[in-house]
Amino acid sequence: MNRKRIARVMRERDIRGVTRRERRSLTRPDKKAKPAPDLIGRDFHAERPGIRLVGDISYLPTAEGWLYLACWLDLATREVVGYAMADHHRAELVVDALDMAYGRGNLEPDCVIHSDRGSEYTSTQFCDCIRELGLRNSCGRTGSCFDNAAAESFLALLKEEIGTRIWPDRATARAEVFTFIETFYNRRRLRKHKTFGYFTPAETRQRHQHALAA
């Protein structure tokens, strides 16, 4: 069929394609803060879980205002091991997400925690949390989305999968994000792993654990 017939059928059935909204960057560097060195160098791979995490912040529109989401992905499995949502994107949002990742991600000492140079990630509160947990902070360059491409790719996927509408309230948006991460992305969405093949992030983590036990 040609595109005109497709367009007519879509009009008749009130079907609309998913389109991305214009991107509004949340990255606001603190010019007085000294950023951490880049320990990733655009190499978004890890030999095993718990040694390299990447994180970013995004936002979802609701009738009550923005809902902000901070998340941390394990580069060995691409599993979302930590996330937090709130009506703000202050430093405590990324700290709460990191606390969750530390509690459920089995992070090793000196695990690299990579992000952009937003003020949330260069704040004293976040740096103190990194130090207390025995982890290593890493930041990409200002204005370079490629330095944190793995985290940004996940957030773009999330927005495409759950849609680009405006939610009636933050509670509804929060519930849909939770369902997407915990029910679909981590446990049902297949991805190609260079060693294990096509498995979900959770299955990839389990295979790493079985290989380590063996």
In order of start, what are the domains of the chain with their CATH numbers? Answer: 26-213 (3.30.420.10)
Look up the pTM and report it. Answer: 0.82
Confidence label for 24 from pLDDT (cuts 50, 70 and 90) = low
Q: Which helix (H) or strand (E) holds 178?
A: helix 170-179
Confidence label for 174 from pLDDT (cuts 50, 70 and 90) = very high
Across the chain, what does the average pLDDT equal? 88
Which residues, in sequence order, are CB contacts of 100 under 8 Å at separation 6+?
Answer: 72, 81, 82, 83, 84
Contact by Cβ (8 Å): 139, 151: no
**143-172 confidence digits (pLDDT tens):** 677 889 999 999 999 988 887 678 999 999
Q: What average pLDDT does range 35-58 have in this prediction? A: 92
Confidence label for 81 from pLDDT (cuts 50, 70 and 90) = very high
| Residue that wins the pLDDT comparison between 164 and 95 | 95
